[in-house]
Structure 1
Amino acid sequence: MAGWEVRPSGPDRSGRVRVLVLLLLLALPAAFYAGMQWQLQQAESIAAEIKPMAKRIAEQESQLDDLHAQMAIAVSGASVAEKANEQNRLTIKLLEEQIFKEQQDLSFYKGVLAPASRREGLRIRKFELQATENPQRFRYKLLLSRVGKDDKPLNGQLHITVEGSQGAKDKVVLELSSLTDDEFVPFKDKLIPYTFKHFKSIPEAGRFAELELPDGFEPNQIRVRAEIKGEKPLERTFKWLDKE
């Protein structure tokens, strides 16, 4: 009959179709499970890499915190040390002022008791010497004061020499300016200018300057000559390392 088509059919073909459908249905969850496993493995791998990185970052942050703390302590310590040194300098200066004032009062009362010795003006009080570990180097400080009620500043300059012997020469005179390389002593050529009312310490603020003797030089004394504007020069000698 026209329009009719005969197609072969049977149990084998239907069975294969059902098997294919079943395999397809089973494959979907298997693929889904495999995908989940792959994602889990990737996540574990990434986590394994992140963990040591996080640990290193934590350690570095801890080190940074320690460094910040150390820096803060160092800055604080330097500030405290600087303040302590400044306080010590101020204390020394105040003590020197007190000592000079007492010496001035003592000189005044001595002058009252012995009128013949009364003389107002500059006093070369002390040239203090201290030895160091280097036998050729010494620390020194000069103290000046003034007796009298005049408040006008004293102006002048100091000429300081070290006298001794060297080799066959019995009398050798060395300029202190040539023996000293110290920023705290204001030498101008061979002289030290000064201006003060009641007392003067050279160097200032309780410091010590240093001098270095040449090899073979044997010091005997130090001579301090003070030239005073408007007055006669004043001179005094100090035995070497004498702490009078």
Structure 2
Amino acid sequence: MAGWEVRPSDPGRARRRRMLGLLLVLCLPLAFYAGGLWQQYKAPAAVVGALPVTVQDEQLLAEVEELRQRLLVLSSAEKVSQQANEQSRLTIKLLEEQIYKQQQDLASYKGVLAPASRREGLRIRTFELQATDRPDYFRYKILLSRVGKGDTPLEGQLQVAIVGKQGDQDVTHELSALTVDVPEAAPTQSLAFAFKHFQAIPEADRFAELKVPEGFIPREIRVRAEVQGEKPLVRTFKWNKEE
């Protein structure tokens, strides 16, 4: 019969093909599973490899924090030192003023209780001058007292001048013009006083402050006290030394 072809039949070969296809289908999930296991196996190694970088960063952060803490400690120590120095300076200043007041009070009481044979009346006891931590600035205090007994207050005016050199010339400055923190209307005015036994200028434990002009070299301080009805009293003090 025309058009017909006879092919031998092999049932075993067909079965093998089916088995092979089935194996391929089953191998696909296994391949995905095996790939997942491989990624899990490789991932810890990558993490382990990254650990040193993390540890190094943490060490750097710890060192930075330690340095920051040291800086804070040093800054605090410096502030404490500055405060201690300032407190010491103020304490020394206070002690100096207290010693000065006690000395002047003692001198005043001696003057008040002086023998009657001494001339009674006004005394210019001291012109206290103290250097400060600024080269051209000085603190000063004037002490007046009275010798003898009397209930009527002594009233008058006090004029103080500082004599020195400005270059080659002799120059005299009024103390009021050199005194710091004095109202503008005051530089040419005298210092008024009124007391029975003694008076400090400025009062209490305070000191006034003066500024020496640039280029001026002080030599002496002249203090003139005038009481109405009495002869003016003049006393001269060397700069930092009493004459």
TM-score bracket, normalised by the shorter chain, equals 0.5 to 0.7
Q: Alignment RMSD, CA only? A: 4.7
Q: Which residue of 2 aligns with 1:96?
A: 97
One-letter code aligned to 1:201: F
Give the whole-Å Cα distance in 2 for the aligned partners of 1:85 and 1:17: 102
Listed as ranges, the gaps of 5+ residues in structure 2 are: 1-8, 147-154, 192-200
Q: Which residue of 2 aligns with 1:82?
A: 83
Pair 1:221 & 2:195 matched = no
C-alpha contact 1:164 1:221 (8 A) present in aligned 2: yes
Q: Which residue of 2 aligns with 1:201?
A: 207
C-alpha contact 1:129 1:241 (8 A) present in aligned 2: no
Change (3 A) 1:145 1:242: closer
C-alpha contact 1:157 1:227 (8 A) present in aligned 2: yes
Q: 2:129 aligns with which of 124, 127, 130?
A: 127
Pair 1:142 & 2:153 matched = no
Q: Name the SS of the counterpart of 1:200 in structure 2.
A: coil
Pair 1:186 & 2:187 matched = no
Q: Name the SS of the counterpart of 1:173 in structure 2.
A: strand
Change (3 A) 1:64 1:122: farther
Offset of 1:32 from its aligned partner?
Answer: 1.6
Larger Cα-atom Rg: 2
Give the whole-Å Cα distance in 2 for the aligned partners of 1:226 and 1:59: 76
Q: TM-score, normalised by structure 1?
A: 0.59
Listed as ranges, the gaps of 5+ residues in structure 1 are: 1-7, 149-154, 204-208
Q: Name the SS of the counterpart of 2:181 in structure 1.
A: coil
Q: Which residue of 1 aligns with 2:172?
A: 173
Aligned sequence identity (%):
20
C-alpha contact 2:223 2:234 (8 A) present in aligned 1: yes
Give the whole-Å Cα distance in 1 for the aligned partners of 2:46 and 2:156: 87
Give the whole-Å Cα distance in 2 for the aligned partners of 1:235 and 1:29: 122
One-letter code aligned to 2:79: A
Offset of 1:95 from its aligned partner?
Answer: 3.7
C-alpha contact 2:140 2:208 (8 A) present in aligned 1: yes
